Amino acid sequence: MVKAHSFIRTAIIIFTVWSMLGWTTMASAQYGRETISIIGSSTVYPFARIVAETFARETAYPTPTIEPTGSGGGFRLFCAGIGVEHPDLCNASRRIRADEFAICEQNGVGPIVEIKIGYDGVVMANNRQAPAFHLTRGEIFLALAKAVPDPAGTRSIVANPYPTWRAIDPRLPDLPIRVLGPSTTSGTRDAFMQLAMEAGADQIGGHAASRPSAGRLDAARGRSLRTDGAYVEEGEDDPLIVHKLINHPDALGIFGFGMLVQNADHIKGASIDGVMPTAAGIAAGRYPLSRPLYIYVKSAHVDRIPGIREFLTLFTSEAMWGPNGALPAQGLVPMAATERERQREIARRLTPLDLH
């Protein structure tokens, strides 16, 4: 009888272990992936890569895969669906738009979690050996907009006629207008259009209702950059832009503040409306082209793809995003302590984002 009971107990243990292994195998087969998949912003990419490398070094999990697709491209992939073929996290250099959020919901991608990771500034920079630039947002608009007020003062809107920076203002360098920047899939491009171009149009009074041509300028300014070679799209490759600035002293480049910090031996930032791009100026909101950075998490993948919770814990640790952490050392502008704690709690609780 005792032997029978012992046999039954052994059988139960074996069955339990077999069942657990079977469930794990089925779960693995269902999701088919053990590596965290991250896509999105090229600006956030260097910070996420640092966290990913530390994550792999300090845990038993494999290094997450990260693909810099741009914020807009990232949201399209992120919101396409649930499952192994879709990414788990999306880096973003701007907040998700309401229409993108709606697509996520339509495709069953919800709830999603929005975690602010810090601040950044969009910078315009050039070779350290080239002349310094001190620009206003109005001058940036006049240099790069496809259509601008007629410099002859006719109150008409004309195709951009400015060949050089000095043609806009005599105090600016006598260099051809050539700006290397991101493509339309980039959150940095979106931020630049809003914070520099649209604000620049406002600065020169182009939106004023009293101007006969105001409506035409307002319509033209939104997303219309020059296509005559003055603005050159370089995709999502910020390091390529920096490389070209090193070899082409006449050009300026557009990218995030972190790229300026990481390449300070070779390039320098332009002041915008009298404010230089610095961590202190960005944190205080004094720098006109400041913006927050985010990561978005697909809640349905948490606890399904191994390591997501642990990755978020590391990302939101003081060792990473704190003032003396690894990410500020590479150019991330840290949030205040109270904001870091609030965002850390959002990550811990996986608090759903609601844009309704």
Dist CA 314 CA 115 (whole Å):
13
Tell me the average pLDDT across 279-301: 96
Would the pLDDT of 100 be above 90?
A: yes
Name residues whose C-beta falls within 8 Å of residue 241's C-beta, 6 or more positions apart in sequence.
180, 181, 234, 253, 254, 255, 259
Is residue 17's pLDDT more than 60? no
Query: Does the pLDDT at position 209 exceed 50?
Result: no
Could you give the CA distance from residue 328 to residue 331 in angstroms, rounded to a whole number? 5
- Of 91, 179, 135, 145, give the one whose Cα is nearest residue 277: 135
Is 272 within 8 Å of 124 (Cβ atoms)? yes
DSSP 31-52: H---S-EEEE-TTTHHHHHHHH
What are the pLDDT digits (tens) for 331-348?
Answer: 999 999 999 999 999 999
Q: Tell me the mean pLDDT in the region 96-113.
A: 96
- Is 20 a residue whose pLDDT tops 60? no
If you average pLDDT over residues 271-297, what whole number do you get?
Answer: 96
Q: What is the mean pLDDT of residues 213-233?
A: 70
Mapping DSSP to helix (H, G, I), strand (E, B) and coil, where does residue 158 land? strand
DSSP 8-class letter at 193: I
Residue 205 confidence (pLDDT) above 90 = no
- With a cut of 80, say whether residue 33 has pLDDT above it: yes
- In this prediction, residue 218 has a pLDDT band, given cuts at 50, 70 and 90, of low
- CA dist 241 and 325 (Å) reads 27
**For residue 223, what pLDDT band results from cuts at 50, 70 and 90?**
low
What is the pLDDT, as a whole number, of residue 194? 93
The per-residue pLDDT for range 224-274, each reduced to its tens digit, is 899 999 999 998 889 999 999 999 999 999 999 999 999 999 999 999 999
Give the model confidence (pLDDT) of 116-131 as tens digits.
999 999 999 999 999 9
| C-alpha–C-alpha distance, residues 81 and 86, integer Å | 6
What pLDDT is attached to residue 153? 86
Model pLDDT, residue 12:
37
Q: Mean of the pLDDT values across residues 71-90?
A: 97
* More confident position, 2 or 117: 117
What element of type H or E holds 231? Answer: strand 231-233
Distance, in Å, from the CA atom of 260 to the CA atom of 126, rounded to the nearest integer, reads 10
Burial class (CB in 10 A: 0-12, 13-18, 19+), 94: buried
Does 311 have pLDDT greater than 80? yes
Mean confidence (pLDDT) of the chain: 88
For position 204, what pLDDT does the model report?
Answer: 87
Six token digits for residue 183 = 């493509």
- Lowest mean pLDDT across 66-80, 118-132, 134-148, 196-210: 196-210
How high is the pLDDT of residue 174? 97
Burial of 68 (0-12, 13-18, 19+ CB in 10 A): buried
Question: What's phi and psi for 227, nearest 5 deg?
Answer: -120, 20
Does residue 134 or residue 9 have the better pLDDT? Answer: 134
Q: How far apart, in whole angstroms, are the C-alpha atoms of residue 242 and residue 348?
A: 37
Angle at alpha carbon of residue 82, lines to 52 and 348, rounded to 5°: 50
Specify the residue for token string 């005792």: 2
- Report whether CATH 3.40.50.2300 matches the domain 121-290: no
d(CA 94, CA 74): 11
Pick the residue with more confidence: 348 or 222?
A: 348
What is the pLDDT, as a whole number, of residue 235? Answer: 84
pLDDT reading at 8 higher than 60: no
Q: What is the CATH number of domain 35-119+292-349?
A: 3.40.190.10
Judged by DSSP in three states, 180 sits in strand
How do the domains of the chain map onto residue ranges?
35-119+292-349, 121-290
What's the CA gap between 204 and 194, in Å, rounded?
15
Are 35-119+292-349 and 121-290 in the same CATH fold?
yes
- Provide the pLDDT for residue 155: 82
Is a pLDDT exceeding 70 seen at residue 281?
yes
